[in-house]
Amino acid sequence: MPIQYYIYLSLALFSIGIIGVLTRRNAIIVFMCVELMLNAVNLLLVAFSKMHHGVALATDPATTAGIDGQLFVFFIMVVAAAEVSVGLAIIVMMYRNVHSVDINFLNRLKN
């Protein structure tokens, strides 16, 4: 599969994530969109990993080139999990205080 397709797909998902972050007001949805962005990156990394592996495979059949890409995905997932736990905790804390998760509502701090 041409690598461009993966790039386009990934960028599309990433951009959809961005659009989501920019257009939604619900903090949880915004956060979900961030997760979507991360997943787009994951997909791209895996695709690149396979691309590099393919290139290396042509010369060295025992190569493990490209494995770092997949491992990076693994670490991204780790971080994402940690972030989610903290992020949701913060959102819940916020909700407890103001009974809303509307990010437009967050404007005590400005100017």
Partner 1 sequence: MNAIILSALLGVVMMFSGIITNNKSVLKYIAAAGLLLLIAANLLDTYALFKININTHGLLSFEKFGLYFNTLAFGATLVYVCLSGSDIEKAGINVAEYFALIFFVLCGISILSGFNGLLMLFLGIEILSIPLYILTGADKRNLKSNEASLKYFLMGSFTTGIMLMGIALFYGATGSFALNAPAIIPTTGGINPSFLQVAALLLLFVAMAFKVSAAPFHFWTPDVYDGAPGVFTSFMATIVKAAGFIAFIRLFQSQSVVLGPTWKIILSFVIIATLLIGNITAVFQQSVKRMLAYSSIAQAGFMLFALFAGNDLAREGIILYSVAYSLATIGIFAVLIKMSDYTFDGFNGLAKKHPVLAFTTTIFLLSLAGIPLTAGFFAKYYMLAAVVKEGGALWLVIIALFFAAVSVYYYFKVIQAMYFKEGDAETTEITGAFKTGLVLLAAFVILIGIWPSIILNGFYF
Partner 2 sequence: MSKFVYLVPLFPLIGFLINGLGRKAMTKSMISIIGCGVMLASFVVSVLVFFDVKEHGATVVNLFSFIKAYSFQVPFAFQVDQLSSLFLLIITGIGFLIHLYSAAYMHEEEEQHFGRYFAYLNLFVFSMLLLVLGANYVIMFIGWEGVGLCSYLLIGFWFKNDQYNYAAKKAFVMNRIGDLGFLLAVFWLIFKLGTVSYGDVFANIDKLSDLDITAITLLLFVGAMGKSAQLPLYTWLPDAMAGPTPVSALIHAATMVTAGIYMIARSNILYTLAPVSQTVVAIVGLATAIFAATIALKQNDIKKVLAYSTVSQLGYMFLGLGVGAYTGAVFHVMTHAFFKALLFLGAGSVIHAMHHEQDIRKMGGLKKHMPITHITFLLACLAIAGIPPFSGFFSKDEILMAAYNSNPLYYYVGMAGALMTAFYMFRLYTMTFLGSFRGTHEQEHHLHESPSAMTIPLIVLAVLSVLGGFVGIPEVFASDAHSLEHFLAPIFAESAKIQHGHHLSHTQEYMMMGVSTILIIGIILFAVSKFKKTQAQQTESSGIAKLLENKWYVDELYDTVIVKPLHLLSVFLKNIVEKSGIDGAVNGVGKLVGYGSRQLRLLQSGQVGNYLLIMVMIMIVFVLIWFNDLTIMNFLKKLF
Partner 3 sequence: MSITEILFFFLSALAVFSAIMVLVSRNPVHSVLWLIAVFFAISGHYILLNAQFLAIVNLIVYAGAIMVLFLFVIMLMNLNKETERNKHIWMKLAGAVSGGCFLMVLVSLVRQASDFQEKTALMGTGDIGLIKNLGKALFSDFVVPFEISSVLFLSAMVGAVVIGKKE
* Contacts with partner 1, residue ranges (CB under 8 A): 3, 7, 10, 14, 17, 21, 27, 30-31, 34, 37-38, 40-41, 44-45, 48-49, 51-52, 55, 65-66, 68-69, 71-72, 75-76, 79, 82-83, 86-87, 90-91, 93-94, 97-98, 103, 106, 108-110
What whole-number distance in Å separates Cα of residue 84 and Cα of residue 42? 16
What whole-number distance in Å separates Cα of residue 95 and Cα of residue 4? 42
Residue 104 Cβ, how far from partner 3 at the closest point, in Å? Answer: 7
Among partner 1, partner 2, partner 3, none, partner that 70 touches (CB below 5 to 8 angstroms by kind): partner 3
Between residues 10 and 61, which has the closer beta carbon with respect to partner 1?
A: 10
Contact criterion met (CB below 8 Å) for 61 and 32? no
What does the binding site for partner 2 look like in residue numbers (CB under 8 A)?
18, 21-23, 25, 30, 103-104, 106-111
